[in-house]
A = this chain, B = another copy of it.
């Protein structure tokens, strides 16, 4: 059986509280006894029982992380960055996958809520369904939104400027001389509508007429990009260039184009978003929009720790951290190639 505070207390002939104080580094204990206790604890191999501690303090030292797809390097890198802050602070990270499924997300958030001190969520919910989160927050839940946030839910969040992402990507294509530019549009989430908005703004800015036939709905996965592109190819009237809502869909589109024998970037140019890990090594290295995921994860973790550790639900304005996106030019956009 593991060593308990009581064991140490008995061995040293002091009270449990004294031991507890030493272990938790409380100021109200003499440095001498603290040293004695810590030494004994070390020698006896004491490991605190988090369940008992949690029951007494209403803390779990667990942070929940809810992501749509862990196999997407984007979220795996975020997870890693979050962990690198959380663990040294004494928290473990509980990762949950939702597969971009709203039902699953709701179920997992509900389950995780009482098992963790707070949740970092990259939500797949639509803006309308986000009321759930408003309710949770008013019940005292500690949430930090990651990558995706909700306008009407007042919670800290770390996101990128997705309108700018769409603008950078689309404007880059325009600057390369393309005029007939399509968009593979993600569905549901705010990120997707913002990127679409950026796409529109770029067109507007350069006086290119917005043509809704050039905007094709699509999911957020590689498979969805593949399927959307396949059906587009089948229908014909392909645009000269495409801004895909994210890198997985861009890669899916790339596969479909390759399969159909359509040259990238010579026949169709592609730009993605979100700098997937292997984008640079692809058959056609993928031009994309990148932002600092390590920074993003760190910030989210820090916001979470702050939210947990100041115990008031909110002091003053909620913090929204915005990470700046930047274009990464590679081959798939046709930069350096003779475009018309």
Q: Which residues of A contact B (CB under 8 A)?
A: 2, 47-52, 54-55, 60, 62, 70-71, 73, 76-77, 79-80, 83, 87, 92-97, 108, 110-115, 251, 254-255, 276-278, 281-283, 285
Report the Cα distance A94→B96, complex, angstroms.
9
Mind listing 14 A-B residue pairs with CB under 8 Å? Answer: A49-B114, A51-B54, A62-B94, A70-B76, A70-B80, A71-B73, A73-B73, A83-B95, A87-B108, A92-B94, A95-B95, A251-B281, A277-B278, A282-B282
Task: Verify B70–A79 contact, CB threshold 8 A.
Answer: yes
Task: Verify A97–B80 contact, CB threshold 8 A.
Answer: yes
Q: Which listed residue (B60, B71, B93, B255) contacts A281, Cβ 8 A?
A: B255
Q: Which listed residue (B113, B114, B283) contacts A282, Cβ 8 A?
A: B283
A288 smallest CB distance to B (angstroms): 14
Report the Cα distance A110→B62, complex, angstroms.
16
A124 smallest CB distance to B (angstroms): 16
Task: Verify A76–B71 contact, CB threshold 8 A.
Answer: yes
A61 smallest CB distance to B (angstroms): 8
> What is the copy number of this chain in the assembly?
2
A98 smallest CB distance to B (angstroms): 11
Residues of chain B within 8 A (CB-CB) of A92 are 94, 96, 111-112, 115
Once A50-B114, A254-B281, A278-B281 are accepted as A-B contacts, the answer to whether A83 and B96 lie under 8 Å apart by CB is yes
Task: Verify A60–B51 contact, CB threshold 8 A.
Answer: yes
Report the Cα distance A251→B282, complex, angstroms.
11
Which residue on B lies nearest to A75, using beta carbons? B76
Report the Cα distance A47→B281, complex, angstroms.
47
Residues of chain B within 8 A (CB-CB) of A50 are 51, 114-115
